[in-house]
Structure 1
Amino acid sequence: MNEITAPLRSEPHPITGAVYQAIGDGLVRVEDKANGKSGIFRHDGTWIEGDLTHADKHLLGYVGGPDLPPGHDVLWTLMPALEEDLPPWAEAQEAARQGQPQRPKFIAKYTNDPGMETPEGLRSAAHVPLEFYLDHDRRPELIPDVYRKSSPVPGGPEKVPSARYFDRKYHDLEVEHIWKKCWQMVCREDDIREVGDYQLYKVANLQYLVVRTAPDEIKALENACLHRGRQLRDCSGKKATEFRCPYHGWQWKIDGSLPLIPAEWDFKGVRKEVSRLPEAKVARWGGFVFINPDPGAISFEEYAGPEMMEHYAKFKLQNRYKQADVTKVIRANWKVVQEAFLESYHSIATHPQLLLHGSECADIRFDSFGNWSRLGHVGVSGSCPHRGMTLSKEQALDIYRQIADFMRETLRDMIGDEVDQYSDAELNDQGFNNLFPNTSPWGGWARVVYNFRPNGDNPDEALMRVMFLAPWPEGKPKPEPKAQRFLDADQYWTEAPELASFAKIFDQDCGNLPQVQAGLKAKSQPWVWMSGYQESIIRAFHHNYATRLGLEDGE
């Protein structure tokens, strides 16, 4: 378990102005000077003493909860590629920061976002059209055409049946129509560099051994002996020469063929039906390995669509170095977990510390192109319309260009003059995109990749996987990819310090999810609401979901 908050944090609440001060041992003192009250709380929200009896749980956790080791609380986009470079780099950045004027932390009364009408429909009062940024880009000739494409999800607020998140009926339908039929990310090619290296992939009740069978060949074999069904491997591994069943010794080559049945005389005529392990289809894209168990599946490229292919083409994800890979058990359905990362509407309540810098993320761009959705495309933060603070177009453009200049020089230290191939738009791209059903490689240089799936055959638990892919110079040999770390349901994300400041954000996000899962079962209305725009990508997901499962309207 991490040490609790060292050094001790202190933050004002962005709306109430109450000061949250860590006092050690997981305790936080909250002082509301405006109302003359104060109280002491555990970082999980439990009141201990004082006349102030309720406080913001998410800010309590951020201030007083388990923290990162010294030197690791840095923005994930600014991390060096190698963790051993992090402490001195972070110290240098901190020293430089101390010598610069700091952005003020604004306390402002909650006013609600009045919204505005736009040619594409209702948007936040902070809305700045994407076209404004693109039309004022200083390197417009470098902008890919796909950046100018617009495809908002039509329609307004919609109901989604709550039972989709816990009823086993839907879990079983997902196995048949999603996990057996859709393209799913398993690993990076770098995870299985040598012939015989393999990754064990589990989703629901399905299991595959994804193995490099030749220098330029990868196969996905069902992880079950065709004799009595014993799993051939219980974990991932390196340089296998065979998969020998531990139960009766049937011997399978890594290409899935069967050279040996012990006492084959007793299995007369059987070999014809058991000569090869069944396989899933395999695709490689951007350094990732995807599988699809459906033998009749369309190609990965057709499934992802031309917009996704074009959007990532210049970023050369295959060149990235995997500097973090963390999987955590969450006590909630995989869709509940994923949907927490398909919108930024939750930032207002879940990440109050971000509002201190005007980072409400209210002006997020959403587009949906079939199986691929694009979120948070290009725009900048700084406005906080729920507190009456919005930037003008000119102010937003100034921040946009500052970020581009900063990213350009930061990346130059990592990938050299290759960075000059990118427009301001691409250097600002932080989109947390999603490929149906469950994989989210972020856009631009954000490094982040999400993946969500059921934890075994349990619809009430999920596995959330987070990778960081660091920029790496083309042609330079990459280090060994970071090994995957596993966290159980009761561990904090901050126990994975390689995730840098994102770990504390994840702890806030995931702090909601078990309570969402419980609330979905407790509520009498058998549906939840998804908004017209800010939750439109979740609506797009459920349109695809219902179509694939063959559900009727409202089912």
Structure 2
Amino acid sequence: MARDEPETRLPPGAARCPGPSALDIIRADSPGAPPALTAESYRFLGDSDISYERYTSPAVFAREMTHLWGRAWQWACREEHLPEAGDWIVYDLGTLSILLVRGGDGIIRAFPNACLHRGTQLKPPGSSGGASELRCPFHGWRWTLEGDLKFVPCRWDFPHVTEDSHALPQLKVGLWGGFVFVNPDPHAPPLETWLSPLAEHLCGRWDLSKRRIALHIQKELPTNWKAAQEAFLEAYHVVETHAQALATAGDANASYDIFSDHVTRFVHTIGTPSPHFEGKLTEQEILERMRIGDATVPEGGTARAVAAARLRRQLGEAWGVDLSPFSDSEMLDSIEYHLFPNMCLFPGVSLPMIYRFRPLGMDPGRTLFDLLFLKLVPEDAPREPPPEPVFVAADQSYASVPGMDPGLGAVYDQDTDNLAAQWRGFHASTKRGQTLGNYQEARIRRFHLTLDEMLARD
């Protein structure tokens, strides 16, 4: 059978790329991969088309604002953004504007970013800072850091205002992995329920609370927020979009897992050729194409093992941390979890990204993409303020950001070019929906099924 010929005798979703899978490659590495990395959980979820109206329709977008974003747990900031009492930050998404504040008691609270007098935002969109109280810039009404009404100018004219009636309403807040989550729905399930089993996987040496932000990029993407994140939920596009990586990146043989309605994952290997790669490379040639510096693969060794060892040494020395517990896969591979609705987390070491995709304003065709790199730090490292996000316009390159690896920036630029073309195609196509693969794009289908469930609720 030809490599790309479909296997019609298998039930839907059972076909896999011929040859070693990502998990086969990881299991053949030196021992040490955590059990979570080799866990498997896939199920066939259907094969109907996904309508383009889900991306382009203002009516769908409006319903998402109330039935999704108004009810979903969503990552708002990192705890290091609010290290001291009085620190505050504004989280914006579409019509939502939420003010997060660390109170004098050390507790992080979230309030709608609006004065209870005449609705003026207490803090500007996308801003952060420190304060001893919360004060409206219009008429000077004031609240404590805990949201209690503190002062009303000309209080004699407001006998109908009481401390109880005009305390700032609080939204649900949850903390996990160093992240601060908010949920506007007072009846929302606990964050722990939403996260499961992500929290069980990302613990121990994958505990992201032990990492710190090294770089924060905010990029405008010219497409709907759903289409933007879906481009990062599969490796199927690598063969065409990132063909320069085929000599050293597994793609068609990546593993895909659906752990819950909210949590999915893919793992694709680095340091092994793609099943699509034409030709034969020695392990030494693979290593040289990985561009990690001069090194030699010993007889009987692998490029993956040599590259992982070199990165353990280089990054360990640069960060002042012991990376010896991390397996070759953790050092090299693209290990990406998705937490519904809009967060991607990479617990690996050399690809330590965090993604977030948000509607930008009220335009269904604009997305704000947060790209963070989290580095490991020594346990006794002093706490440092996180770097300010660097904004990149839709027509600018990721590589223009100081501290961004130019090669990696070029890869992200390729993805952005796809998104712009896809958005135009959504409107031009006479076929009114996208057709997904049963396995490689199963995470996208799981996302839409969960979204459907949220949008269908009263």
Q: Does 1:213 align with 2:103?
A: yes
Is this contact kept in 2: 1:497–1:503, CA < 8 A? no
Change (3 A) 1:392 1:531: farther
Q: 1:332 to 1:272 in 2, by over 3 A?
A: same
Structure 1 counterpart of 2:21, which letter?
Answer: V
For the residues of structure 1 that align with 2:387 and 2:192, how far apart are their CA atoms? 27
CA separation in 1, counterparts of 2:446 and 2:140?
48
Q: 1:529 aligns with which of 435, 440, 449?
A: 435
Q: Which amino acid aligns with 1:529?
A: T
CA–CA separation in structure 2 for the residues paired with 1:155 and 1:513: 25
Q: 1:397-427: CA deviations, max 9, x gaps?
A: 9344334323332343145564233334433
**Aligned counterparts of 2:72 and 2:425: Cα–Cα separation in 1:** 29
How many residues align? The count is: 435
Residues of 2 paired with 1:194 and 1:187: CA distance? 14
**Alpha-carbon offset, residue 177 of structure 1:** 1.9
How far the C-alpha of 1:443 sits from its partner, in A, is 2.4
Question: What is the Cα deviation at residue 154 of structure 1?
Answer: 1.2
Instruction: State the Cα distance separating 1:189 from its structure 2 match.
Output: 1.2
Pairing 1:133–2:37 present:
no
1:188–1:368: structure 2 CA closer, same or farther, 3 Å change rule? Answer: same
> Scaled by the length of structure 1, what TM-score is found?
0.72
Q: Where does 1:321-470 land on structure 2 (aligned, <5 Å)?
A: 321-355=212-246, 357-359=247-249, 361-370=251-260, 371-376=262-267, 379-389=269-279, 398-414=302-318, 418-445=322-349, 446-470=351-375
Q: TM-score, normalised by structure 2?
A: 0.87
Distance 1:118 1:129 in 2: 21
Whether contact under 8 Å (1:384, 1:390) holds in the other structure is no
Question: Deviation string for 1:520-543 (max 9, x for gaps)?
Answer: 122122211111111111111111
Contact 1:161/1:526 (<8 A) preserved: yes
Structure 1 stretches lacking a partner, 5+ long: 1-110
Q: Which has the larger radius of gyration?
A: 1
Which shows bigger deviation, 487-496 or 290-299? Answer: 487-496
- Of residues 184, 188, 196, the one that matches 1:305 is 196
Counterpart residue type for residue 419 of structure 2: L
Change (3 A) 1:307 1:331: closer
Q: CA deviation at 1:260?
A: 1.0
Kept in 1, the 8 Å contact 2:67–2:454? The answer is yes
- Specify which of 407, 415, 438 is matched with residue 509 of structure 1: 415
Q: How many Å apart are 1:462 and its aligned residue?
A: 0.7
Matched, 1:231 2:121: yes
Letter in 2 for 1:285: W
Deviation at 1:429, TM superposition (A): 4.3
Q: 2:122 matched to 1:122?
A: no
Q: Distance in 1 between matches of 2:10 and 2:176?
A: 37
2 CA distance for matches of 1:531 and 1:254? Answer: 50
Letter in 1 for 2:237: H
Quote the offset at 1:392 in angstroms.
Answer: 11
CA 1:113–1:380 in 2, change beyond 3 Å: closer, same or farther?
farther
Q: What is the SS of the residue equivalent to 2:149?
A: coil
Q: Runs of 4+ in structure 1 displaced over 4 angstroms?
A: 114-120, 389-393, 414-417
Measured against aligned partners, the alpha-carbon deviations of 1:246-288 in whole angstroms (never above 9, x if no partner) come to 1121112222111111112222222256421122211221211
3-state SS, counterpart of residue 195 of structure 1: coil
Counterpart AA for 1:238? G
The 1:462–1:404 alpha-carbon spacing in structure 2 relative to 1, beyond 3 Å, is same
Cα 1:184–1:229 shift into 2, 3 Å: same
3-state secondary structure, aligned to 1:542 = helix
Question: Aligned equivalents of 1:397 and 1:256: distance in 2?
Answer: 61
Residues 514 and 133 of structure 1, relative CA distance in 2, 3 Å threshold: closer
- Report the Cα offset of residue 127 of structure 1: 3.7
5+ unaligned residues in a row in structure 2: which ranges? 287-299
C-alpha contact (below 8 Å) 2:148/2:163 kept by paired residues: no
Measured in 1, the distance between the counterparts of 2:331 and 2:146 equals 42
1:258 correspondence with 2:135:
no
Q: What are the within-5 Å matches in structure 2 for residues 136-175 of structure 1? A: 136-140=28-32, 143-155=33-45, 157-175=47-65
**Cα distance between partner residues in 2 of 1:223 and 1:345:** 41
